[in-house]
């Protein structure tokens, strides 16, 4: 599973990345959840994320413009596994 946090490096983007890492750590390592932080603004536009931070799971935009909690992220990841 590929999880991407989109943001230029602002405090809110960093918080979403931290929440995402905490959520991913709650799953068994065999789930192979790869979390990446993306700072390329052109990629944001390509994915349709115009307000950061953004969260994408396996190519689907899950959230934009807000910092969702680790529990919310964990729920979304669980739905996709």
For residue range 5-20, list pLDDT tens digits in order.
999 989 999 999 999 9
What average pLDDT does range 32-45 have in this prediction?
Answer: 97
Q: Can you give the CATH number for the domain in which 71 is found?
A: 3.40.30.10
Kind of pairing between the strands at 60-64 and 34-38:
unpaired
- The secondary element (H helix, E strand) that includes residue 4 is strand 2-6
| The predicted structure's pLDDT at residue 48 | 97
What's the CA gap between 56 and 54, in Å, rounded? 7
Q: Which helix (H) or strand (E) holds 36?
A: strand 34-38
Please count the structural domains in the chain.
Answer: 1
Q: Please report which confidence band the pLDDT of residue 34 belongs to, taking 50, 70 and 90 as the band edges.
A: very high
Confidence (pTM): 0.95
Angle between helices 70-80 and 11-25 (to 10 degrees): 50
pLDDT at 24: 97
Question: 47 is in which domain, residue-wise?
Answer: 2-80
pLDDT of residue 66: 96
């Amino acid at each position: 599973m590929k999880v991407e946090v989109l943001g230029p490096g602002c405090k809110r983007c960093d918080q979403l990345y931290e929440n995402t890492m905490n959520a991913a750590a709650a799953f068994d390592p065999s789930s192979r959840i790869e979390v990446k932080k993306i700072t390329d603004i052109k990629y944001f536009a390509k994915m349709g994320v115009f307000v950061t931070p953004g969260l994408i799971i396996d190519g689907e935009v899950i959230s934009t413009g807000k910092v969702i909690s680790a529990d919310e992220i964990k729920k979304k990841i669980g739905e996709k596994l």
